[in-house]
Amino acid sequence: MIKVPTMHSEFTFQQIVESIPNAIILVDREGKIAFVNRQAEMLFDYNRDELSGQSIERIVPHRYREKHPGYRNMFFDDPKARAMGVGRELFALRKNGSEFPVEIGLNPLITANGTLVLVSIIDITERKRAEERFRMIVESAPNAMVLINGEGKTTLVNSQMEKIFGYSKEDLINVEFENIIPSLFKERDAGYRNSFFAMLPDTPVNNVHNLFAMHKDGTIFPVEISFHPIEHAEGTLVLAIIIDITERKNQEVNRLKSEFLTNMSHELRTPMNAIIGFSEMLIDKKVGELNAKQLEYLNDIYASGTHLLQLINDVLDLSKIEAGKIELITESFSVPNVIGEVVKVLKPLADKKGITISLYLLESVDRVCIDKSKFRQILYNLLSNAIKFSNWEGGISIETFPSNDNCFALKVRDTGIGIAREDIDRLFAPFVQLDSGTARRQEGSGLGLTLTKKIVELHHGKIIVESEINQGSEFTIILPRHISNN
């Protein structure tokens, strides 16, 4: 109830009401306008004479006029200071017929002439625009956003939320936020839950949580949520920004894998340097003469060392390929040249068994543009296998010829012991070695063909094996002539 304090009675009621920055209208029991201040005149674009004595419904939009008297009477039956139309959207009507959104406060005024109601009216057009702008910003944000009210319920969600959760906006609005992120309050007591949103610290820095969310299809994915308190006319709201961090976590895992491979590479090769290096020096008699037994044992150490190094290299290569860490380095080179180089390196091994290597290289397969060192690796593997499994004084042939779709083929054929049909499938499995006798098993790692196949696949090529026991084997690989560097 407003009572004019007597000590300031030099101010008339009118002076006070005129000095209030809001639009004020005084309305009597019958709904007639008793007084209008300057602000109200300006807001509604009426002269006070035009409104004095008129019914208040004059400034109410037509569609609300029917119900308005009912609301008026309800107020006078129980006159209490309050906001009008809580929960409803209110509109007022200007002289020119245009509408605008308003917030209205009602105050009963007891005068000598009966109870009046002092109506204060605020034009909230700007506020509504600001809310609309806020809504648009939230909607257009690249991250998923949810607005949460004081009761922990969602009041606004954007399209990104639909995208990452798989639910429609309707499903996501007006639900408890913890239903969307069940892990938010998991294993916490009721006290934590009730005060969570009220007790959020002001700085978002402390408000980042790593949690798990569930997609509509049931999959669980890791998220990072930050909570931001927002002061609002209706109290403090909380804006939650949700980021799906599945990708980020994957990258972290990959980075750790990479680091591990790198460290292993270095660590494993370091002692090999000393083992192979010093045995080599001793064998070469750089530090003095050796007797036969000493030389023999040193050769054993040296052979084991180089074998171990080959194993380490192969395992690391395989790991790198599996981890997706191998990139093809393409360069233009001459196929016959590389074949010549590899044959030269392996010829001593072939000569020891009296094996002849014949080349049938078509001119049409000359320069190609693929990963040169990987190609060399494949050829080395196929040729050394051919030599290993050939008989005394056997023959090995290496052929190249064009293949369709801008590819070329490389065929390595031997007349050795061959491969049983049932073993051909196992051929490319890691650590499988199809040789009889423990003596042979010391050479090679069992990874050569595995790696060869992986490298061929990296080039989007094919590898074909044909073989029969005691007839020999044919390994054909088909590779593209050009690979682009990505």
Partner 1 sequence: MLVVDDNPVNLKLASDLLEMEGMDVYRAVDAESALEMVRKKTPDLILMDIGLPGMDGLTLTKILKEEGATKNIVIVALTAFAMKGDQEKIMASGCNGYITKPINTRKFSEEVKRFL
Under the binding rule (CB under 8 A), the answer on residue 470 touching partner 1 is: no
Under the binding rule (CB under 8 A), the answer on residue 270 touching partner 1 is: yes
Under the binding rule (CB under 8 A), the answer on residue 319 touching partner 1 is: no
Q: How far is the CB of 274 from partner 1 (least distance, A)?
A: 4
**Region 198-257 residues binding partner 1, contact defined as CB under 8 A:** none
Among 226, 265, 304, 471, interactor with partner 1 by CB under 8 A: 265
Contact characters 294-313, partner 1, x per CB under 8 A: ---------------x----
Under the binding rule (CB under 8 A), the answer on residue 327 touching partner 1 is: yes
Under the binding rule (CB under 8 A), the answer on residue 273 touching partner 1 is: yes
Q: How far is the CB of 345 from partner 1 (least distance, A)?
A: 13
Q: How far is the CB of 287 from partner 1 (least distance, A)?
A: 8
Among 114, 182, 201, 277, interactor with partner 1 by CB under 8 A: 277
Q: How many CB atoms lie within 10 A of CB 464?
A: 11
Under the binding rule (CB under 8 A), the answer on residue 263 touching partner 1 is: yes
Under the binding rule (CB under 8 A), the answer on residue 280 touching partner 1 is: yes
Site size toward partner 1 (CB under 8 A) is 21
Q: Are strands 33-36 and 23-27 parallel, antiparallel or unpaired?
A: antiparallel
Under the binding rule (CB under 8 A), the answer on residue 341 touching partner 1 is: no
Q: How far is the CB of 344 from partner 1 (least distance, A)?
A: 16
The single-letter code of the amino acid at 197 is F
Q: How far is the CB of 321 from partner 1 (least distance, A)?
A: 13
Q: Which is nearer to partner 1, 16 or 318 (CB)?
A: 318
Under the binding rule (CB under 8 A), the answer on residue 331 touching partner 1 is: no
Structure tokens, 144: 């998923």
Under the binding rule (CB under 8 A), the answer on residue 284 touching partner 1 is: yes
Under the binding rule (CB under 8 A), the answer on residue 18 touching partner 1 is: no
Among 8, 63, 88, 286, interactor with partner 1 by CB under 8 A: 286
* HSE of 157, CA atoms in CB hemisphere, 13 A: 24
| Measured distance CA(55)–CA(205) in Å, rounded | 55
Under the binding rule (CB under 8 A), the answer on residue 274 touching partner 1 is: yes
Given the rule CB under 8 A, which residues bind partner 1?
261-263, 265-266, 269-274, 276-278, 280-281, 284, 286, 309, 325, 327
